[in-house]
Structure 1
Amino acid sequence: MRSIQTDRRALLRGFAGGAGLFAAQGLMPAWAQSGSAGLRTDLHTLDGPDVRLTVGHSPFTVGGRTGHGITVNGTLPAPLIRLREGQTARLSVTNTLDEDTSIHWHGVLLPFHMDGVPGVSFPGIRPGETFQYEFPVIQSGTFWYHSHSNLQEAMGHYGPLIIDPAGADPVAYDREHVIVLSDWSFLHPHEILDRLKKSPGYFNQSRTTLSGLVSGEDGMSLEERRMWGGMRMDPRDIADVNGTTYTYLVNGHGPTENWTGLFRPGERVRLRVINASAMSIFNVRIPGLAMTVVNADGENVRPVETDEFQISVAETYDVIIRPTDDRAYTLVAESVDRSGMARATLAPRPGMTAEVPPLREVPTLTMRDMGMSMGGMGGMAGMDHSAMGHGMDHAAMGHGEPAAAPMDHGSMDHDMRNPDNAPAGMAVGVGVDMVSPDPANRLGERPMGLEDAPHRVLVYTDLASLAPNKDQRSPSRALEIHLTGNMERFMWGFDGRKFSEIVEPIRFERDERVRVTLVNDTMMAHPIHLHGHFFELVTGGPAGHQPLKHTVNVAPGSKVTFDLTADAPGDWAFHCHMLMHMHAGMFNVVTVRPLDGAAS
């Protein structure tokens, strides 16, 4: 029998040709058996604990065109970083740009001064300088990293980060593929933002036409069309930036480039799906294959089988697939407004393809997406009311409030666009063009556009934490935060204030338990991300097993409630992960005190 050393050249020849991918698998862990084929064979991988990264300028080509990217180690996406729970990670980042840069380790629990947000947790990395991030690795799962400086994230400054568990992985799989979804535009992101500020509907080519309003092809009633017209809002304004300028990518490859992940029929294949987009929400499916969700935002969940899931900006989902046939499958990541898709192939051999489904019909916003639930109490559906009252101030939580009065359509325009009855603490000015009259909890509802899909669709209430929640105390207080905006001016904020104004940070006592409700008073989705923490979505699911998330998509006109244990001292960013929304003001700082060794 030949030794492993003798076989090295043969293995390398096999890797180069693709046929030898399977021959070497007995020598490799399951996670290393990616066996991907395409323009580049796979994501370049850097193993921890010591990693060196260089941020710089690079050309990027997709669809036959070449543009200017900001990349890490010259690749888009950035290299896959592989760490292991229990290590001390040391990541040296050198900046070769002519402007400051940074790296935020998205979803990673670490000391706040290593979190990588300029002006909040550190000063940034200046041109020509090197900064070393160093922190203990205390978790495992699927994460990613990206710039928090000057819209660089939209130009390619993002990459996947996988942390392997110190012990046995509770998820069994034979092969793994990391799937980084993203959006790319040849327009500079500052130009995109400038166009949105001048005309928020600039990229929307699916807007409702006059003939469509007259004919009723949108399915709305005459009264609904009258109301939309009176509010000067477009029911097809689903995404601020879309396929009119974006090319949607899988691991840096456009739809025509057919990134391919290999499998052997009968294998359990783990897909680690990361939405690293600047502005794009995707609906993900693999026609002909069921997916079993096993991990969300890096945290293991009880396995749940589905046929499609929506992944908002900055979320991650791990799914297990088990293709048994010797055939190719298409992985489809369709943009939420149906203006384009990212597409890849999963196949037994390189060069295979499967049918690519056409884009589905453009969804249409409804009165419900403006927080106008007609049922009054309909917004409480799906909540575990019994769990909300233990040891809490019922008045603060909104218990005992009267049912909503019948809606007066004639006064709707005034109530929504000139909100005289705004909640206490909200700054009502030009930055607020509506307040949702009756925002509903929609965690158990299918996402917009998938309501009538003829197959299973994942919803947040399907998720339950695999391990018991560590802190099962009842919250001691409640906090309500409104997500606000003026769509015509492309202004966004929390409680009516942009971060550029004088805004008080959101304060928590260290280790206090707080029930936070996010109320979306706008007609756009907002994926809200809290740095340095995980929170438990209040879904009414199994007691003590609420799903843990670091990012949650708050649908238009809806509200989301989560329980937070503020156990990470320091200053942390809290923001919408739609990059343009964040830069237009939907950002604040969460401060947790006291710090280690401090009295207050």
Structure 2
Amino acid sequence: YYNFNQPTVVDFFRDVSRDGFKAAFDKRKMWNEMRMNPSDLADISAYAYTYLVNGTPPAANWTGLFRPGERVRLRLINSGAMTFFDVRIPGLKMTVVQADGQDVEPVTVDELRIGVAETYDVIVTPTDDAYTIFAQSMDRTGFARGTLATRHGLVAAVPEPDKPEWLTMADMMGDMGGMAMDHSKHAMPAGTAMDGKLAKPSTQARHAKTEYGPSTDMRVDMARTNLDDPGIGLRNNGRRVLTYADLHTIGGSIDPRGAEREIELHLTGNMERYAWSLDGLEFGKSTPVHFRYGERLRVILHNDTMMTHPMHLHGMWSELESPDGQFLARKHTLNVQPAQRVSFLVSADALGRWAWHCHLLLHMDAGMFREVVVA
């Protein structure tokens, strides 16, 4: 709602002056033909929401007290419904020591993006009297703000939100260096890796027949698999930003077994119709995903949409792996960026029926939800 960053005639003439009329016209024509908007970064903005820190709006200035020189552990929890936050404390480094409640090898950053339901524990060592905890929304329409201070009443400078950035073609189409082609005619059965081996996650898109319908407006054939991209709005911003490639859970995997089989689930949608689904099927039209009790399997989440989705599997850990199949981090919620392909291993050790969904409330409600049956 209230996306005031949409392309306008002013932007068109600005492109004309910079790139020439033909290039500007072709660019606008391309986006219009795809029925997509490069500024669609969030479903609901600060024009509808007030962003809070521990229930406190920015003007009320939630304050956490510290003694100068002491090490302070902050637990960052995104308990919002529809908002990604980019969190930083100007003038203060943050050392990430936990992700989703699991100890990770410490990594020091200036900023991190936290999706709905994710948690990060960071350690800071403040020396000045006051610092601003600044959490701007991904679409840059607003922010949550609090203060770390030596006493109540102190404040520090509050930065202006960064300028919003438009999505790029890589965010739309994935690996632009690859050869984009439609693999639907020779899609491989779910659970079969391309070369018959499961040491590494497969990279070839396997689009379900159900993706070809009115509830799906795009399909990405050559999704990017790199995990070192902080995401739109955080690239090359002059700050050290956390990425999933930085996360390494201490102690390694909870299960030494490799994958016995591989399943692939596509995150799908149609922004104009505001339809959200998995493999082109809303929850009410879907059937459960079956895990065999005790098995070790690889799950691939392939994002065919232009939005980032925080995917949450109930009851079992998602053990994130690198593109070459190396264990990285144990999490319960994984952000999957536009045109990205993410893989993780699951030990199906919890009998029963479990929810698996996008944690953006309206996406989940619209149908980006599946039931998992472990039996």
State whether TM-score is above 0.5. Answer: yes
TM-score, normalised relative to structure 2: 0.90
Q: Distance in 2 between matches of 1:225 and 1:292?
A: 42
SS at match of 1:393: coil
User: What is the RMSD computed on CA atoms of the aligned residues?
Assistant: 2.5
SS at match of 2:64: strand
CA contact (8 A) 1:571 1:589 kept: yes
C-alpha change, 1:296 and 1:398, in structure 2 (3 Å) is closer
Q: Distance in 1 between matches of 2:268 and 2:98?
A: 31
Of 68, 82, 85 in structure 2, the residue corresponding to residue 265 of structure 1 is 68
Aligned: 1:393 with 2:176: no
CA contact (8 A) 2:113 2:242 kept: yes
Q: Distance in 2 between matches of 1:215 and 1:357?
A: 27
Structural mapping, 1:181-580, within 5 Å? 202-216=1-15, 222=24, 223-325=26-128, 327-376=129-178, 393=197, 398=202, 423-501=207-285, 503-539=286-322, 546-580=328-362
Q: Distance in 1 between matches of 2:296 and 2:131?
A: 45
Q: Distance in 2 between matches of 1:397 and 1:218?
A: 45
Identity %: 49
1:539 Cα deviation after fit: 2.1
TM-score, normalised relative to structure 1: 0.57
CA contact (8 A) 2:297 2:347 kept: yes
CA contact (8 A) 1:485 1:496 kept: yes
Give the total of aligned pairs.
Answer: 360
Instruction: Output one character per residue of 1:309-356: Cα deviation in whole Å (capped at 9) or x when no partner.
Output: 00011100000001123x200000000000000000000111000000
CA contact (8 A) 1:527 1:554 kept: yes
Greater Cα offset, 466-475 or 582-591: 466-475
CA contact (8 A) 2:200 2:324 kept: no
CA contact (8 A) 2:45 2:141 kept: yes
SS at match of 2:284: coil
CA contact (8 A) 2:113 2:230 kept: no
1:520 Cα deviation after fit: 0.6
1:533 Cα deviation after fit: 1.1
C-alpha change, 1:219 and 1:582, in structure 2 (3 Å) is farther
Q: Distance in 2 between matches of 1:218 and 1:315?
A: 43
What are structure 1's unaligned runs of at least 5 residues? 1-201, 379-388, 402-420, 594-600
Q: Distance in 1 between matches of 2:59 and 2:314?
A: 36
1:468 Cα deviation after fit: 2.4
Greater Cα offset, 309-318 or 231-240: 231-240
Give the number of the structure whose alpha-carbon radius of gyration is greater: 1
C-alpha change, 1:272 and 1:218, in structure 2 (3 Å) is farther
1:218 Cα deviation after fit: 12
What are structure 2's unaligned runs of at least 5 residues? 181-192
CA contact (8 A) 1:526 1:577 kept: yes
Matched letter for residue 35 of structure 2: R
1:425 Cα deviation after fit: 4.6
CA contact (8 A) 1:290 1:306 kept: yes
CA contact (8 A) 1:285 1:307 kept: yes
Matched letter for residue 432 of structure 1: T
**Using CA pairs below 8 Å that are at least 6 residues apart, which structure has the higher relative contact order?**
2
Q: Distance in 1 between matches of 2:243 and 2:99?
A: 12
CA contact (8 A) 1:422 1:428 kept: no
